[in-house]
Amino acid sequence: MQHAPLIIDVAGTRLNKTERQRLAHPLVGGVILFGRNWESRAQLAKLCRQIKKVRPDLLICVDHEGGRVQRFRSDGFTHLPPMRALGQMWLGEVAQPPGAAALSACRAATACGYVLAAELRACGVDLSFTPVLDLDHGGSAVIGDRALGADARVVSVLAQALMHGLLQAGMRNCGKHFPGHGYVAADSHHEIPVDERSLEAILVADAAPYGWLQASLDAVMPAHVVYSQVDARPAGFSARWIEGILRQQLGFGGAVFSDDLSMAGARRLDGREIGSTEAALAALQAGCDLVLLCNQSVVDDGAPIDELIDGLSRAQIEGRWQPSALSEQRRLELLPAAPAPLWDELMVSPRYMQALSLLP
């Protein structure tokens, strides 16, 4: 049974022979790009063509939210605002008729989504891990202005508008970080945050957008956060969170990505240190369809990626992991269904120019 759950990275601005071999492996389902993979639009487009030449079904992904999380910023790419700017538009700074500020913010959110997706797709990128659905509780530096706001209702409406803009450009979406990373101060890149609130408190606040948006979300990324009143494992390794709450209780039926397995929040499980293969198996067994391992192509010529591919292959042979046809279907559904726009044509299209004029 085919299932390609691994999303890996590449080292530079073009593929080398070893990377082509990795990407051709049947367990590899996609690539995540970073700033080091960027020189220019022409180079990025060529890199994406090289990836698709290895396998047309490979999903090319990037974290490209706007604000401080935007991988490509020059050679024509629009500097998108942090998502907090949309929430501030909703609140309004001057007296306006009732509802006018909220409607303007929604219109700007759709414009942000369209510009973001259209520019990426014109260079060959398939998916951005956006929108951020975390609430801004004021104490998380890693989330901060990446959040649309503090009110789950406002966040949900603005995220819906942003996802509409993505869809207009032919791009799917990925809400993150389920059930919410905004309450804890610790950064899961460097430590394991613990949220001690009750399940009820989380569901009525941080997790609420996932229930309200379940019919519109194409993918979800759980947080490397321990919600100690619910499960001792981080959400990305918790069957209770992924299968029990996200899928059964909230009704989500799309793809679930693990967050980066190289993060500190993913390297300790059940009180002990684990490697990337064990982390990947734990995430897949908990209900993730796809797992990310980031920034490892630049470590020992990519040895950690090869170890993960070999480790998951052995686990499959030994019966410790079973491929999922449903997970593979969810991965393939994230690929764009329509041809990407040409950059030069995009730059003069009325929809694009209008969207630019609406950005905050």
Residue 8's pLDDT band, with cuts at 50, 70 and 90, is: very high
- Are the beta carbons of 209 and 175 closer than 8 angstroms? yes
In this predicted model, which residue has the larger pLDDT, 38 or 185? 38
pLDDT tens digits along 259-291: 999 988 788 888 899 999 999 999 999 999 999
Copy the structure tokens of residue 150: 């503090």
Catalytic residue among 136, 259, 260, 289: 259
Q: Please provide the average confidence, as pLDDT, over all residues in the chain.
A: 96
pLDDT of residue 267: 84
Residue 95's pLDDT band, with cuts at 50, 70 and 90, is: low
What is the rounded CA–CA span in Å between residue 232 and residue 80?
A: 37
pLDDT of residue 1: 60
Residues 6+ apart with CB under 8 A from 160: 213, 216
57 counts as catalytic? no
Task: Compute CA 85 distance to the chain's CA centroid, rounded to the nearest angstrom.
Answer: 20
Mean pLDDT, to the nearest integer, of 45-52? 98
Is residue 93 scored above 80 in pLDDT?
A: no
Catalytic residue among 57, 151, 187, 189: 189
Is residue 165 scored above 90 in pLDDT?
A: yes
pLDDT of residue 271: 86
What is the rounded CA–CA span in Å between residue 331 and residue 58?
A: 9
Instruction: Count how many residues are written for the chain.
Output: 360
What is the rounded CA–CA span in Å between residue 172 and residue 223?
A: 20
Residue 226: beta bridge partners? 194, 234
pTM: 0.96
pLDDT tens digits along 143-158: 999 999 999 999 999 9
Count of beta carbons in the 10 Å neighbourhood of residue 103: 14
Is residue 221 scored above 80 in pLDDT?
A: yes
306 counts as catalytic? no
